[in-house]
Structures are given as structure tokens and as C-alpha cells.
């Protein structure tokens, strides 16, 4: 459901209301009870992007899927099974082991 912004022309109270598209516009201010509410026009604050959207959305130049290009590249030496404890080749040597050697 969309969130609409309203401002009272009488007391300048601002409010946001979640309403269906089919709901009538509000008219009475909840603060001063005057029928002076006006719907404001505001910009959306999110962008639909990622692997679940159409390939043509937010496309730059000849790219087909922006989401694939933004993911960090994985090399064959590192794997998703790394727990960060220093057991794989991508992890630095633990400090205690290097000090004892």
C-alpha cells in the first residue's frame, strides 16, 4: 500500500498515512480538526533493483543484468565454506602461530 503525505493548511501539521489507491483523500486534520488537509507530492525513496527484476530495468549501455555486475567476483581459491578461522588459503595466518614460529 502506498504511503501518502498530507499537510494541514490551517496548522501546518504534516502526517503520513498508508492508504489504498481506492481510499478517498483525507480532509480533516487530526490535530486541529479543520477540513484543511492537502495531499503532498513527494519523491519515492527506494529503487527496485536486483536479480528478481526485469533485465531491462536500470540498464546501463549494453549491460544485460546490472545485479550480476555489482556482485564481487569470487576466485577459485576462496570458497563459501570459509569460516574466517584461518583454515583456508585466503585467510591470513593466525597471530599466535606466527609468533610461536
Q: What is the mean pLDDT of the chain?
A: 73
Question: What pLDDT shows up at residue 47?
Answer: 64
Summarised one tens digit per residue, pLDDT across range 24-63 is 999 999 999 999 999 998 876 666 666 666 655 556 666 6
Residue 6, class by beta-carbon neighbours within 10 Å (0-12 exposed, 13-18 middle, 19+ buried)?
Answer: buried
DSSP string, 46-65: ----STTS-TTTT--TT-S-
Closest listed residue to residue 25, CA positions, set 10, 41, 11, 49: 41
pTM of the model: 0.44
Asked whether residue 88 carries a pLDDT value surpassing 90, the answer given is no
Asked whether residue 78 carries a pLDDT value surpassing 50, the answer given is no
Summarised one tens digit per residue, pLDDT across range 14-23 is 999 998 989 9
Closest listed residue to residue 50, CA positions, set 32, 63, 69, 37: 69
Residue spans of the domains in the chain: they are: 3-39
> CB 78: neighbour CB atoms within 10 A?
12
Question: What pLDDT shows up at residue 43?
Answer: 75
Amino acid at each position: 500500500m502506498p504511503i501518502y503525505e498530507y499537510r494541514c493548511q490551517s496548522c501546518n501539521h504534516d502526517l503520513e498515512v498508508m492508504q489504498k489507491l481506492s481510499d478517498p483523500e483525507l480532509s480533516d486534520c487530526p490535530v486541529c480538526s479543520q477540513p484543511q488537509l492537502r495531499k503532498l507530492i513527494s519523491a519515492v525513496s527506494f529503487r527496485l533493483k536486483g536479480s528478481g527484476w526485469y533485465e531491462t530495468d536500470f540498464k546501463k549501455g549494453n549491460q544485460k543484468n546490472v545485479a550480476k555486475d555489482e556482485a564481487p567476483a569470487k576466485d577459485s581459491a576462496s570458497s563459501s565454506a570459509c569460516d574466517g578461522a584461518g583454515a583456508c588459503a585466503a585467510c591470513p595466518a593466525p597471530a599466535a602461530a606466527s609468533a610461536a614460529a
